[in-house]
Amino acid sequence: MAKIPDRVKRLTKRSRVLALATSSKNGEPNVVPIWFGKVLSGDEFLLMANFMKKTIKNIEVNPKVAISVWRTRGADEGYQLKGNARIETSGKVFDDGVKWVKGEEPWLNPRAAVIVKVNSVYITTPGPEAGSKIC
C-alpha cells in the first residue's frame, strides 16, 4: 500500500469537497461529492457516507475506488488517490466519524464509514507533472 504524502494530507485538510468515484459490477461509473473526508492513517482515507446509496452498492460489488482532492483560486493543486474501499457501519472508526459529522452538521445521519486503503497517488495539478504517479 502507498503511504499518503504529507502534501496530500495538508491539501485534504484545506479542501471542503472531495470527489469519490466508484463503478458498478458492470463497469457503470458513478462520482459523488463528499463533504466529510480525511486521512485516517498513513495509508487509509476515511469518507463518511451520508447519502451514498448507489456508491455503497458499487463498493459492495467492486471495491476499487478513486478519490479526487483539489484546491483552486490561485494555488491550483490536486491529487487522485486510488485504492480498495470497505464499508463499516459499527465500531470505533464509524462511531468517531458520526461524532465528527454531527459536530459540524447535526442534521446529518451518517449511514456508514467508507475506508479506502490507498495503493497509489497521482498528481492532478495542471502542468507538466499532471498524471504522474507519486507513490
Would you say the pTM of this structure is higher than 0.85?
yes
Under 8 Å between Cβ of 70 and 77: yes
Interatomic CA distance for residues 88 and 111, integer angstroms? 9
> Residue 3 in 3-state DSSP?
coil
Of the chain, the end-to-end C-alpha distance in Å amounts to 9
Domains belonging to the chain, first-starting first, are 6-123 (2.30.110.10)
Q: Which residue has the cell 466529510?
A: 36
CB burial string 85-124: b at 16+ within 10 A, e below: bebbeeeebbeebbeebeeeeeeeebbbbbbbbbeebbbb
Q: Which amino acid type is present at position 47? A: L
Among residues 98, 30, 100, 34, which one has the least CA distance to residue 59? 30
Instruction: Please list the pLDDT of the chain residue by residue as tens digits (135 residues).
Output: 789 999 999 999 888 899 999 999 999 999 999 999 999 999 999 999 999 999 999 999 999 999 999 987 767 899 999 999 999 999 999 999 999 999 999 999 999 999 999 999 999 998 999 999 999
Task: Output phi, psi for 23, to 5 deg.
Answer: -145, 145
